[in-house]
Amino acid sequence: MQNKRSLEVILNDCNNVITLSSRDQMVRRLLSLLGRGVLFSITSVAALAVLAIIYFIAKDAIPFFQQVGLKEFFFTKSWYPTGEPAQFGAAAIFVGSFLITGAAVIIAVPPGVFAAFCMSDVLSFNVRQFMKPVIEMLAAIPSVVYGFFALVVLAPLLQNHGGSTLAMVWWILALPILLLGSYVAGDLLTPEKLSHTAVRACRIVITVVLMTLSLLLIRSVGTLLLGLEISSGVNALNASVILGVMALPTIVSVSEDALQAAGRELREGSYALGATRAETIIKVVLPASISGIFSAVLLGVMRALGETMVVWMASGNAAQVPKPWYNLLEPVRTLTATIAGDMGEADQMTGSAHYHVLFAMALCLLIFSFSCNLIGEWIVNRQRKRLRGE
Amino acid sequence: MKKSLLLVGLIAGVMTVNAEQKLVMDGSTTVGPIAKAFAEYYMRENPGVNITVSESGSGNGAKALLNGSCDIANLSRDLKDAEKAAMKEKGVEPCKHVVAFDALPVIVHPSNRVKGLTIDQVRDIYTGKITNWKEVGGSDRKIVVISRDTNSGTFETFMHLVMGEDAKIKESAEYTGSNGAVRQRVQMTKGAIGYAGLGFVDRSVKPLSINGIEPSADTVVDKTYPLARELYMFTKGTPAKGSLVEKFLDLMKTEKGEEIVEEIGFVPLGAK
């Protein structure tokens, strides 16, 4: 009985809708259009903001290239924007930016990806629920706090006990990794077409030889590091370490998502075929989620490249190419720090080339991050196609 | 309707009262502490007055005065020709007020054996001609050259007083964003050399004598210390009689004002 009544109500409503006057219909259509329009414009604000930023940066960057030229900017390394005459060679600054970013990525990617594997495939659900927010909390620390830490804690440590600190870090990291590595390598290098005892003997010999070699390597590098004198604690290494820590939560979080997305079926299939956990991780989960990990790394790169406050405080801001170029123990200057540090003085009223050169740098940064983004998209797409079997 | 009108009126009223009693200062990190101490004292004496002091560097201070975002610009150097020209173009007539004298001590780590340098030696260290402390009578240690960033008046003054027209600071010199950061870097780094305002030099670093003269209030006032300068506050035009800006700037000519300046570590005008 009740059902019948509610059905009637619905039918009535339907009738009402159907019997709308044409004026009401018009109003409804207009409202719907308006709603769509509002939603569309809200969505396009983000896209428009990007376009506007590109436009305004390019507008102020192009006068610099007209005044000074690409050649001086990219290929000379005398950075004296306030000198008489002013020189705008930014090669050293580009080198500084890439050096710090590269080192930060090298520092952050291996632990970040390992942590992601650990959380997705090794730790129990409860521990992971606890660990992930803790690691992501690293991203919540303001960058000036990181910078302060770099200046007050890390810089004196590197200056006063630089050699011993680096040697200690090297021992702690290299010893387990290289020993484990030689064990695994011994396993892999042993030829399989031998008799059982021969295989065992061969494996032991190879492993022992590799372990001895790596111990020697660890010791000699350790002694080398121990003897290092670091004259200034604010240098590329300091900034890279801090940037690496800052990029870590991004890399961990995004790669962990990618590993999760590989799916339970894949893992269970692998286990069902008799694979161990290590084999499952390396041979099944990693290939399936490699594109996600790659985008995590790219996001980390962009985080490190765009960071300003930390490099301004921790990198020393010396516009020089270190000798040799990969020497992380010398102060360097980055694009972001130059823009932040020089913007106050380089006003339009005090020397316009200095003002425009900062926009030229901003444009270059923008182009780098765009290309990173595009490469990331391309790789993800390609991977997706491959997984679909196209 | 009436109510909302009343509310609007009330808000407008409050806003105008605030506007009358508000003073915004911006500029040099060297003059900043003086401005802050003055502001604190003035606000205590005159409740209801709100003074904000920002420290974004002399260059930014001049810019802020030009575009009207501050009432008083603190500068640790005089206005540059380009800045003056830009102000003229916009119809702003800058009015200069000397607040205090400052010396630019060259500072090193307390453990450094070197007691003094000549200006030429300082210049050679900053250009990179001298790279080891043993060349100027110290121990065998690499010199770590630390400079203020190009946005600071301290940097401009240093360039003007020490480096001259042609000399360039060497590429490997480190740049830091504030006087405090220079002191921080020097007190932590054994081979460091840096420069900062007189008010920032404490026991944690060692000031060097320049051309044989120690930086102090006396040597600054009698102008024997070669690296000394005046500190300025700039206003838009001569401040009107009885305005907040005028009353505030009068403070530095009083005994209390000079006391404050001295307390922070600068040399007051009266000492002259």
Q: Which residue of A has its CA nearest to B155?
A: A82
The residue ranking higher by pLDDT, B218 or B209, is B209
| Interface predicted TM-score (ipTM) of this complex, two decimals | 0.71
Answer yes or no: do B111 and B216 share one domain.
Answer: yes
Q: Does the beta carbon of B59 lie under 8 angstroms from any beta carbon of chain A? A: yes
Do B214 and B256 reside in the same domain of the chain?
Answer: no
pLDDT for res B123: 93
Residue B141 domain-assigned (yes or no):
yes
* Spatial separation of the C-alpha atoms in residues B198 and A344, rounded to whole Å: 24
Q: What is the dihedral of CA B117, B33, B188, B210, to 10 degrees?
A: 0
Q: What is the CATH number of the domain that holds B214?
A: 3.40.190.10
Q: In the prediction, which pLDDT does A171 show?
A: 92
Contacts of B183 in chain A (CB under 8 A): none
Residues B217 and B250 in one domain: no
The reply to whether B110 and B185 lie within a common domain is yes
Identity of the residue in A234, A341, A351 whose CB atom sits nearest the CB atom of B151: A341
Q: For residue B142, which residues of chain A lie inside 8 Å, CB to CB?
A: 231
Please check whether residues B212 and B138 belong to one and the same domain.
yes
pLDDT at residue B121, as a whole number: 93
Residues in chain A within 8 Å Cβ distance of B141: 231
The pLDDT of residue A14 is: 56
Q: Which residues pair with A231 in a beta bridge?
A: none
**pLDDT, tens digit, 9 for 90 and up, residues B26-61:** 988 888 888 989 998 988 888 888 888 888 888 888
Which amino acid, residue A260? Q
Residue B182 to residue B186: CA distance in whole angstroms: 6
* B130 and B185 fall within a common domain: yes
Cβ atoms B86, A349 nearer than 8 A: yes
**pLDDT score at A320:** 87
B223-245 mean pLDDT: 87
**Cα–Cα distance measured from residue A155 to residue A161, given in angstroms and rounded to the nearest whole number:** 10
In a domain, B226, yes or no: no
The pLDDT value given to residue B260: 87
How far CA A101 is from CA of A74, A108, A112, B59, in Å, comes to: 18, 10, 15, 30
Instruction: Identify the three-state secondary structure at position B208.
Output: coil
Probe site for chain A from B78, B139, B187, B189 (most A CB atoms < 10 A):
B189
Interface test with A, best of B149, B157, B168, B190 (most A CBs within 10 A): B149
- Tell me the nearest-neighbour CA distance from A18 into chain B, angstroms: 43
**Residues B21 and B111 occupy one common structural domain:** no
Range of the domain at B83: 2-101+231-271
Residue A251 in 3-state DSSP? Answer: helix
Does B114 lie in the same domain as B90?
A: no
pLDDT of residue A347: 58
pLDDT of residue A350: 47
Partners of residue A77 in chain B, C-beta under 8 Å: 171
Residues B111, B90 share a domain: no
SS3 for A161? helix
Whether B15 has a pLDDT exceeding 70, the answer reads no
Asked if A234's CB is within 8 angstroms of B63's CB, the reply is no
Low-confidence ranges of chain A (pLDDT < 50): 1, 349-351
Does B272 score more than 70 pLDDT? no
Per-position DSSP letters for A278-328, written without gaps between them: HHIIIIIIHHHHHHHHHHHHHHHHHHHHH--HHHHHHSB---S--SSTT-T
Averaged pLDDT score across all residues of chain B: 84
pLDDT single digits (tens) B82-113: 888 888 888 888 899 988 888 889 999 999 99
Q: Is residue B158 part of a domain?
A: yes
In eight-state DSSP terms, residue B251 is G
Q: How does DSSP classify residue B190?
A: T
Confidence (pLDDT) at B1:
46
pLDDT of residue B157: 82
Q: What is the pLDDT of residue A277?
A: 86
When pLDDT is cut at 50, 70 and 90, the band that residue B125 belongs to is very high
Contact B183, B200 (CB under 8 A): yes
Tokens 């059902």 -> residue? A3
Best A338, A345, A352, A357 member to test B by mutation, with max B CBs in 10 Å, is A345
Domain end, chosen from B221, B244, B259, is at B221
Q: Structural domain tally of chain B?
A: 2
Whether residues B92 and B118 fall in one domain: no
CB pairs under 8 A between A and B: 91
Tens digit of each residue's pLDDT (9 = 90 or more) over B161-195: 888 877 888 888 999 888 888 998 898 888 899 99
CB contact under 8 A, B171 and A349: no
User: B134 and B87 share a domain?
Assistant: no
Is position B209 within any domain?
yes
pLDDT number for residue A20: 66
* Domain co-membership, B135 together with B239: no
